[in-house]
Structure 1
Amino acid sequence: MNDTITVVIRNKNQAESLDFLLTNLKKRYSEDIDEIIVLDNRSSDNSLQIIEKQGVKKVTIDQFSYGGSANLAAESARNDLIVIFSAHAFPVSHDFFKLIKISFLKNSNLAGLRCLHNGNDYKHYINEVSSKENPNEAGVIFCGSAFNKKVWEKFKFKDDIQTMEDKEWSQRVLHQGYDIEFVPAIFCYDIKRTDEQLFFRYKNEVIGSYQLWHTDYKFTTALKMVAGSTINACRVFSSSMYYTFKRFCFLVKFIHNKPEKF
């Protein structure tokens, strides 16, 4: 395999984040990246102007699916090392892509790498949790992960699974004897979802979890979810109102009894 890197970014109506990510990639990692591609899912904001301004390659997704977009990312890339991001994520560590390249050069059996972005990732990396024992939390995630196009050519991503196409692929290539490892390349996952977006994500995860992990959902599960969510919402509301009142009382007291200025 060649050791040059293609970065592929999945985007839909995230122009501001996309602009920041592309600026970050060009400003800090230009010597590490050979190619940048934006997979745009018919954005209606000014994403296309951002892509044109930044001078990177655009590939349009007409009918989006997670597995299908990942396959399109691999098909569109001219290099064997592919790092895939969503527009709302960006690399942080200065050696992000160098560490990825070194890992693939060291291990010719490597199918993919999982980079680090949250507490669980850091703990699993430090505790040396392997993808073979925990493919869900140590396998690749298609936002801030890298994969080997040569392996993909043998094992394409499933485009008929609702979501978790990355987890399914991880399981499949691990079963075929390939390796997936953590790499201490750090990125930030920065998105604030609306309630509607959170519900959409929840639906996909329920379906994907059933398809992949065979999670058994029952009516009692739904009732427990509603009860737990209601109790938690009441607890959060009560705590928020309590501390809102305490802040008010403190501020009134402070106004009447201000400390000496330095």
Structure 2
Amino acid sequence: MKCSIIVRCYNEEEHIGRLLTGIMEQTLRDIEIIIVDSGSADATLKIASRFPVRIVSIKPEEFSFGRSLNIGCEKAMGDFIVIASAHVYPIYKDWLEKILEPFVDHEVGLVYGKQRGNETTKYTEHQIFAKWFSEKSNLNQKHPFCNNANAAIRRELWNKIPYDENLTGLEDLDWSKKILSLGYKIAYVSDAEIVHVHNETFRKIYSRYYREALAFKQIFPSEIFRFREFVKFTITNTVTDYYHAWHDNIFFRNLFSIPIFRFMQFWGTYKGFLEHGIITSEVKQTFYYPRKMEKQKESQKSYEDRIIDYKLTKEEYFEKIL
């Protein structure tokens, strides 16, 4: 079998069907889909069971990001493991092919793909996606940044290095750091694109970055995030978000949401890092520094024949599948 797709989920009835529909539209057919559910109380499993998937259930109290992945990987039979968040969906029919392509180089241990938001995504989240996931691929990335919302790994490598089950997040960063130290390559593929639906309240944004900062401390024990860096990154990122919003003609629509988002992001980071040393410059560049103040060139590629057509509205979809 070419690849196993692992989807971690909890109460994802609004999104899981679209992801699985997108997977069914893929040009790569030699796959299996493993759903690792941590106690969903909504229609998530009912929707998922309409598709050719294997469902593995764990108790909510047993969940950690690393543990749920390890459970899925244990069940996987593919040579490669593709990891997707339950609230993402692929844009193109060759998403799986694109994310697996770099593995022709036997030194590549991990591949991750581009993420973009949708029409409900907060403006600052769009800016974060644009900063983290560029339009240009990099098949030999020198730093450990990656993201398990849209990634793939070698099964044989996971056999040697399972995910850390004690981290409160960033299990992907921890794993990529470990394989980099062993001499494996990390590849980023821009064409392996998904939409990541991240509609969080501002309180949840704070909690996410706080939780990830706690994990970051475990991965890089000597590092901290100083108060002056909280101030610096909140201000600089707010200013650059305003710059891009102005040029996108949506400045006033996002006048208040931009600074609130950035405050919660970096306040959560600061509180999580409060007890430890200094963050490395490379990681700061990726996670915290704002986008450049320049307009992005539009791609000249044609994607018409690759696009997946998600025609059904939410109401029509539920009427059809339930």
Normalising by the smaller structure, the TM-score range is 0.7 to 0.9
In the alignment, which of 206, 209, 213 is matched to residue 199 of structure 1? 206
SS at match of 2:136: helix
Q: Does the aligned pair in 2 maintain the 1:162–1:208 contact within 8 Å?
A: yes
Give 1:101 deviation, angstroms: 3.2
1:102-136 Cα shifts (integer Å, max 9, x gaps): 322x212221101112323553735x48422x222
Distance 1:58 1:224, change over 3 A: same
Alpha-carbon distance in structure 2 between the residues aligned to 1:241 and 1:222: 24
1:21-45 Cα shifts (integer Å, max 9, x gaps): 111211x116434201111110111
Aligned AA for 1:113? V
The residue aligned with 1:216 is: 224
1:180 equivalent in alignment to 2:189: no
The residue aligned with 2:39 is: 42
Larger radius of gyration: 1
Alpha-carbon distance in structure 1 between the residues aligned to 2:136 and 2:255: 39
Give 1:221 deviation, angstroms: 5.2
Q: Does the aligned pair in 1 maintain the 2:38–2:57 contact within 8 Å?
A: yes
The residue aligned with 1:131 is: 141
SS at match of 1:162: coil
The residue aligned with 1:119 is: 130
Q: Which has the higher helix share?
A: 1
Distance 1:206 1:168, change over 3 A: same
Give 1:223 deviation, angstroms: 8.0
Q: Does the aligned pair in 2 maintain the 1:51–1:57 contact within 8 Å?
A: no
| TM-score, scaled to structure 1 | 0.76
Q: Does the aligned pair in 2 maintain the 1:37–1:58 contact within 8 Å?
A: yes
Distance 1:161 1:94, change over 3 A: same
Alpha-carbon distance in structure 2 between the residues aligned to 1:142 and 1:241: 29
Aligned AA for 1:96? W
SS at match of 1:215: coil
1:178-226 Cα shifts (integer Å, max 9, x gaps): 11111231111112012342232122122122222343145x459849x
Distance 1:171 1:45, change over 3 A: same
In the alignment, which of 1, 4, 7 is matched to residue 6 of structure 1? 4
Alpha-carbon distance in structure 2 between the residues aligned to 1:241 and 1:21: 29
Give 1:90 deviation, angstroms: 1.3
Alpha-carbon distance in structure 2 between the residues aligned to 1:209 and 1:129: 25
Alpha-carbon distance in structure 1 between the residues aligned to 2:10 and 2:93: 27
The residue aligned with 1:18 is: 16
Q: Does the aligned pair in 2 maintain the 1:5–1:32 contact within 8 Å?
A: no
Where structure 1 has 5 or more consecutive residues not aligned to the other structure, the ranges are: 244-262
Number of equivalenced pairs: 229
Distance 1:39 1:222, change over 3 A: same
Distance 1:240 1:144, change over 3 A: closer
Question: Which of 114-123 and 151-160 deviates more?
Answer: 114-123
Distance 1:57 1:180, change over 3 A: same
Alpha-carbon distance in structure 2 between the residues aligned to 1:176 and 1:223: 33
* Aligned-pair identity (%): 24
The residue aligned with 2:277 is: none
